[in-house]
Each structure stands twice: as C-alpha cells, then as structure tokens.
Structure 1
Amino acid sequence: MTRRVPRPADLAPLMRFRRFEPNSRKRRLSKAHKISDLRDIAKRRTPKGAFDYTDGAAELELSLARARQAFEDIEFHPAILRDVSQLDTSVEILGGRSALPFGIAPTGFTRMMHAEGERAGASAAGAVGIPFSLSTLGTTSPEGVAEANPDGRNWFQLYMQKNRDASMGLVERAEAAGFDTLLITVDVPAAGARLRDSYNGFSIPPQLTPATVLNAIPRPEWWWNFLTTEPLTFASLSEWDGTIGELLDSLFDPTMTFDDLAWIRDQWKGKVVVKGIQTLDDAKRVVDHGVDGIVLSNHGGRQLDRAPIPFHLLPSVAAELKGKTEVVLDTGIMSGADVVAAIAAGADFTLVGRAYLYGLMAGGREGVDRAIEILRTEIIRTMKLLGVSSVGELNPEHVTQLRRLAPVAADLSSSGGAAGLVANRRRTTA
C-alpha cells in the first residue's frame, strides 16, 4: 500500500459542512426519521399530563401493547423482478379518493397537545389529499375544521351523548359544514380507566399546581402557546372543571342500542361508518343495518384493557364482509409498513391517531406534515420492496401474522384436565 501526503484538493470535499438551519422547529423535525423519533421529541416538549393523555391507554395498557406487537410480528413475502418505478398509493374510500391508504383518526382535546390543534391536522391532511376526522370531543368546531381544510375531505366522529339533542346538533353542524362521512363510535358505554390521567391529576383545562409548574419549566413554548391563544373550547360542551374520566362518564350514553344506530343512519345524508367493532358477529350485524363501512378498533387500547387485537380480527372480517362494506382498521399503527400490512391483510383503509399527535406535539402543523411524510415514505419503500406498484395489488399472500398469543382449548376434559391446560398453554406460546 503506497502512502502520500493528502492534497488540499482531496480534503476539500470532506470539509463541506452542512448548512445551519436557523429555524429550531425545522431543525428538530429534520432529525425525525421514524414516528418514534417524533414521540421522543413530543415527550421533551409537552407537559406530562397532556403527553400521557395521548401516549397512555387503559389500566395495564395491555391492549395497546398487544396491538403494536401484532404489527411487529408480521412477516412480509416480497415478489422479485417487478417494475415498481411508478407507484400509485391512492385508494377510493367511502365515496372519495385518498392519496394515501390512511387518514387522520378522530382525537379528543387536541389543542391540549399543541395550540394549533385540529386546524394543523386538518390543513396538513388537506394539503396531502387524505381525510381528516374531527372528534365530538375536539377542541375546534366543525366550522373551524372546514375553514382549515376547505377543499379536502372532512369526517365527523359522533359520541352519542345523554343529551341527544346536543349530539344531533353537532351532526347537523358538521353536515352544514360539508363533512361527507359520519363515524359513529360504539365502544364507549363508559369511560375506560386511563390510569396515567388519574395519577397525574389531569383535568380539563390543565390546572397549575406545584408539580405542573415544575414540569413546565423546561417546556416554556407549550405554556406560552397555551396561555396566549384562545382558551380551550369544545365542540360538545361549553366548559368543564374536572378530570377527563369524569367528563366522559358524564357525557356518554350507556343506553345506546342497534335501534339508535338505525335512527342515526336515517338522519345523515352522507356515508355512515361504525367505529369500535371488536367481533365478527358485531361486524356482520352492523352491516345488516345498512352502514357503509366499519372500523375495527379497540379505541387505541383506551377503553377495555385486554380487548381483541384489531389486526388479528381483520382477516376473518375481510373474508366475510369484503365487498359488502368497507373495512377500516385502526389501533397500533406506528409505521407505513403497518399500513401496508393492514391493507394486505384485507383492510380497505386505515386510520392513524397517536402517530399524528406525536407529530403535532413535536412541531405543530409542520410536525404533522413530517409525520405524514414519514408514513408516506415508509409505505412507498415497503410497496417497492414487496414488488407491488399500486395499493390494489396488495393481498394476503404478501403478509403472514405471526402470533405470540393464541387461545387455550376451552374443553379441559379433552386435553387431560389441568395438565392438558398447561401443555396447551406451552404449545400456544411457541
């Protein structure tokens, strides 16, 4: 090996420094390459109460952990030597086009995560051409969302409240504002036990206590935005002074039945989707009631802990109902690969909630843009590596669900009593 003294011309290409980005928001968002990176930024910049409300789930948070694990356990089956130079990531869903196979899920109290709130999500969704969903417990009015996303697709999510006139009044406002789809959430006869909120003493609006003041010191931007913008207002109520769990229990109507579903369906002129389906039997029953779509969801693990995993339920529902209704999946999606896996396993569309909120907390509208771009990039890369050039080409042959959890045989007598039960348990965990 011959050595020589480096020449200045050889060193020059190595001495180029990256241009400094003076905008601190752009600078930190440029370092996020996964949704989990946005989560890390969000955690540093958001008060503990608001972050934990977004990040947490019910009780032991097993439902959320299992839903995410289900996506981590997938195995893809790529096809080789396919022309993937041109990709089409668009889908037709509920009577309209979406540029990507996911939309933004409805989330409550969104301006607590960042002062820009639903307006940031709606405008970002409109810019890229995907649907945005406004929650009954949103902190922006239907009219405000329509103003932020005037040319895009807006969906309204309904929690039927004990005050049904108030509920239907919101539905009428959403319809008048041009929302084209109604998502009726049906898994909330009572609020789930969101213990992080209880431990944090998290209330609406956030209260200044010694603990929150101490937590606020390294997060001045959030508090400055919170204190210098319009006070929190809610689409579903004028004010509230208590915990979120108490608020939800005061609002949710535990008497809602399938008859009410039919009645709501008759009130809405656009597409109607039922969100919160967790069994095949319930999926078939709501389709029999004439809805246009269903969302397989356990509410992001925020209601019943140990609830079914939507991704595991998807193949059986798709096999029974594909073509009879449109099947949407949420809960646990944290990457574009998760979106691709859901479509391949039989979903027509997906919704992302926490992934969008992590971006919002990390950087407002620009953070939402970054979250969408991360997911879009991952979808495109995964599709190319699978050898498919359009979303429509994805099918069950592209993905296998590897399960860590499987049911234990119910009949102990056929498996040697307690000894058989132990043996079965060992086999199902293999």
Structure 2
Amino acid sequence: MKRQLPTPHDLAPLLRFKKPAWSATQRRLSRAHTIADLRTIARRRTPKAAFDYTDGAADGEVSLTRARRAFAEVTFHPSILRDVSMVDPSVQVLGKRSELPFGIAPTGFTRMMQTEGEVAGAQAAQAAGIPFCLSTMGTTSIEQVAAAAPGGRNWFQLYMWRDRDRSMALVERAAAQGFDTLLVTVDVPVAGNRLRDVRNGMTIPPTLTPSTVLNALSRPAWWVNFLTTEPLAFASLDRWSGTVADLLNTMFDPTVTYQDLEWIREQWPGKVVVKGVQTVADARACAQVGVDAVLLSNHGGRQLDRAPVPFHLLPAVVKDVGADVEVHLDTGILSGQDIVAALAHGATFTLVGRAYLYGLMAGGRAGVDRAIAILRAEVERTLALLGVQSVAELEPRHVSRLHP
C-alpha cells in the first residue's frame, strides 16, 4: 500500500467544528437523544426525593415494569416501497387537531421537580400544537396556566374530593378560563403504596433534614431555584405540610360512583375523558354515561400494583367501545415507537407524563421542548420506516406482540 501525507486540501473537509453553545443548559440538552438520556440528566440535577417521586411507582413497581416490557416486546411489520417523503404525525382528538399524537399528562407537585413547573409544560405544549393537562394537584393555578399559554389547548384533570363544592368550584374556574376538556381521574379512591416516597420521607414541601442537605450539595441549582422563587404550594387547595399519601387519603373521596360521573358530565360544558379505566366492562359503562373518551391507564403503576397493562387491554376496549368513544392511552410510554405502537393497536391519542417530567428536570422549559422534539422525531421516523404517510394509515397489521 502506497502511503502519502495528506494535503491541506484533503484535510479541509474533515475539519468541521461545531459552533460552541454558551448556554450550559443547551449543552446538556444537546447531548440528549432519547428520553432515557433526559432521565439520566434529570437524576443528576434533582434531589433524590423529588426524582424518585417522578420515577417511582407503587409497591414492587411491577405494574410499571410490565407496562414498559409490553412496549419493548412489540414487533413492527413495515411495508416497503412506499412514498414516505412526507410524513404527517397529526391527529384529530376530541374534535380538534393536535399536531402530534400525544399530549402532556396531568402531573402533581410539578414545581417540586423544577421550579418552572406547569408553565414550562403549558408553553412547550402550546408551541408544539399539542394539549396540556393541568392536574388538580398542580402547583400552578388554573388562571396562571391560562395566562402563560393563552393560545394553547388546555385541559383540566379532576379528582373528586370529599368536599364536592370545592371540586366543582375548580371545574367552574377551568371552564371560565377556556379549558376545553375535563379528565376525571377515577383510580385513586385511596393513595397507592409508593414505597420510594415512604423511604425518602417525602413531604410537601420538601423538608430540610441532614440527609436532604447532604443530597443537595451536588445539586445546588435545584435548591437555589427552590429557595429563591415562590414557595411551593398547591394551586387548588390550602398549603400542606405532611406526606403525599396522607394528603391523598385526607382529600380523595372513596365513595365516587357512576352516578357522580354522570352528574359531572352534566355540569361540564366541554369534552369529558375518564382517566384510569382498566377493564372492558368499565370502558363500556363509561361510554353509556356519555363521556367522549376513555383513557386506559393504571396511573403509571402508581396506584394498584400488578394492575392490567393498558397497552395489552387496548385492542379489546377498542373493539368493544371504539365506535362510540375515543380510546386514549398512557402508562409506560417513553419513546415515539411506543406511541406509534399504541396508535396502530387502535388508540386515538396518547399522553406522556414521566417523559415530560424528565425533560423538565433536565432543563426547565428548554428540557420540555427537547422531550417533545425527541418524541416527534421518533414518531415521524417510525411512521416512515413502517411505510405510512400519516397516523390515519396505521392499522393493527403494523404491530404485534412478541408474546401474545
């Protein structure tokens, strides 16, 4: 082999330097190519109690493990030689267009994860053209979210409290601020046994103990934000200084029935989604009440451990009630491939919770933008590789379970 020294002309195309990013946040986020990458960054930057509240689930975390395994065991069946030069990931959900087939799920205590909290989520969702759902247990008020994202599509998630008047006052406030959809969560008659929170001594707001101070030393930015911004409090109830489980058990009403759901349906002027459906029979009963959609969810594995995997339940529910109501899905979604698999299985729409919060913890609003961008790219790439031009072209034949 004859060798020669390279000339400057030969070297020039190889010497390409990236423009430096002066923002530390942008440098961090530019290295995140998956939601798992964002999770790694989030874990480094967030105190253990707050991170574990987001990352954890109930009891042995079996439900969460199974939900993630269900998506991992999907087999895609692509069609070849299709024109996929243009791919459209948009969907129609509850009568309106969403630019992407997923929205941001309701999450509680969000400003505890990162001080920008729900405002970052609502504004990122508005910019992406997707729905944002505010939780009853959110740390930003209904009015603040509406002001932060006036052009966004905002939904409100309702827990029925023992004090029904206070619950419905929230509903009236959401309607007055233009929120167009109400998610009624029905799988929290009592708090789930979230052992990570118990072991961390999780309280709202976080308390300063020797262990939390020690854990904070390597995460100064979080504590600076926490201590120099508005005190952490719930937007829809009085301050609380106890554990999360005690709060849930004190507030939530274990007597809620289908009659209550029917009453709520009559009170709300917009669309109604029931969140936490876990059987075909309950999906049918919700449809008979007259709701607009059922959301198959086991609360991200955070309530009843060993509950049904929503993705596995999806085809049967779609077959039974899909002609009458939309069928949405959450739990275990951490990639665009997961979203496409759910859509091919018959889901109308999906919601992401942890994926959004990992982005928030990794970089505030910019981190949420990054999470949405990652999921968007994965959805579009998966659609193209399957040989479909739009979500509407997805069919059950495009996906199967490795172990039916």
TM-score (normalizing by structure 1): 0.93
Taking the aligned partners of 1:336 and 1:99, their CA distance within structure 2 comes to 14
8 A Cα contact 2:153 2:179, kept in partner: yes
- Residue matched to 2:82: 82
Residues 1:222 and 2:222 are matched in the alignment? yes
State the match for 1:43 in structure 2: 43
Trace 1:152-301 onto structure 2 (pairs within 5 A). Answer: 152-301=152-301
Q: Which residue of 2 aligns with 1:63?
A: 63
Deviates more, 1:191-200 or 1:232-241: 232-241
1:351 partner amino acid: L
Code of the residue aligned with 1:280 in structure 2: it is V
Report the Cα offset of residue 238 of structure 1: 1.5
Residues 202 and 244, structure 1, Cα contact 8 Å, conserved in 2: yes
Partner of residue 143, structure 1: 143
* Paired residue type of 1:71: F
Give, in angstroms, the shift of residue 9 of structure 1. Answer: 2.4
* Corresponding residue for residue 115 of structure 2: 115
The separation in 1 between residues aligned to 2:171 and 2:95, in whole angstroms, is: 19
**Could you tell me whether the CA contact under 8 Å between 2:141 and 2:236 is conserved in 1?**
no
CA contact (8 A) 2:205 2:233 kept: no
Provide Cα deviations, 1:184-230, integer angstroms capped at 9, x if missing partner. Answer: 00001100000000000010000001100000011111111111111
CA contact (8 A) 1:170 1:235 kept: no
SS at match of 1:203: coil
1:386 aligns with 2:386: yes
Q: Answer whether contact 1:273 1:295 (CA < 8 A) is retained.
A: yes
1:324 is aligned to 2:351: no
Structure 1 residue 8: Cα displacement:
2.5
Aligned to 1:358: 358
**Does structure 2 retain, via aligned residues, the 8 Å contact 1:89–1:100?**
yes
Distance 1:290 1:353 in 2: 26
Q: Is the 8 A contact 1:38 1:362 kept in 2?
A: yes
Question: Which one-letter code corresponds to 1:230 in the other structure?
Answer: E
Query: Mapping of 1:101-112 within 5 angstroms?
Result: 101-112=101-112
State the match for 1:340 in structure 2: 340
1:167 touches 1:236 (CA, 8 Å); kept in 2? no
2:276–2:295 CA contact under 8 A, matched in 1: yes
Q: Within 5 Å, which residues of 2 pair with 1:392-403?
A: 392-403=392-403
**Deviation of the 1:95 alpha carbon:** 1.7
Question: Deviations for 1:155-198, whole angstroms, at most 9, x for unmatched residues?
Answer: 00000001111111111111101000000000011000000000
> Equivalent residue for 1:315?
315
Q: Any idea what SS the aligned residue of 2:179 has?
A: coil
Q: CA deviation at 1:316?
A: 0.5
Mapped partners of 2:68, 2:148: distance in 1: 31
Contact 1:204 1:242 in 2 (8 A): yes
Match of 1:428 in 2: none
Aligned partner of 2:23 in structure 1 is 23
Counterpart in the other structure of 2:96: 96
Q: Report the residue type matching 1:321 in the other structure.
A: V
Q: Is the Cα–Cα contact under 8 Å of residues 344 and 396 in structure 2 kept in the other structure?
A: yes
Contact kept, 8 Å, 1:67 with 1:309, in 2: the verdict is yes
1:291 partner letter: V
Identity %: 68
In the TM superposition, what whole-angstrom CA distance separates every residue of 1:319-369 from its partner, at most 9, and x where no partner exists? Answer: 111121000000000000000000000000000000000000000000000
The AA in structure 2 aligned to 1:161 is W
Q: Deviations over 1:19-57 (max 9, x none)?
A: 221100000000000000000000000000000000000
What secondary structure sits across from 2:87 in the alignment? coil
- 1:62-118 CA-to-partner distances (Å, cap 9, x unmatched) read 000000000000000000011111111111111211000000000000000000000
CA contact (8 A) 2:42 2:359 kept: yes
Q: Tell me how far 1:402 sits from its aligned partner.
A: 2.1
TM-align CA RMSD:
0.9
Unaligned runs of 5+ in 2: none
Q: How many angstroms apart in 2 are the aligned matches of 1:103 and 1:373?
A: 13
- Could you say which residue in structure 1 is the equivalent of 2:54? 54
* Counterpart residue number, 1:416: none
Residue aligned with 2:150, SS: coil
Q: Give distance in 2, aligned partners of 1:357 and 1:10.
A: 46
Question: Is structure 2 residue 369 aligned with structure 1 residue 369?
Answer: yes
Per-residue deviation, 1:147: 1.0
Tell me the number of residue pairs that the alignment of Structure 1 and Structure 2 aligns: 404
1:7 aligns with 2:4: no
Say if 2:136 and 2:156, in contact at 8 Å, map to a contact too: yes
Matched, 1:130 2:130: yes
Q: Give the superposition deviation at 1:146.
A: 0.7
Can you list the C-alpha shifts for 1:245-293, whole angstroms capped at 9, x where unaligned?
A: 1111111100100110011111100001100000000000110010000
Report the CA distance between 1:7 and its aligned residue: 1.7
Q: Which has the larger radius of gyration?
A: 1
- In 1, distance between residues paired with 2:390 and 2:16? 40
- Hey, what's the Cα distance between the residues in 2 that align with 1:21 and 1:153? 32
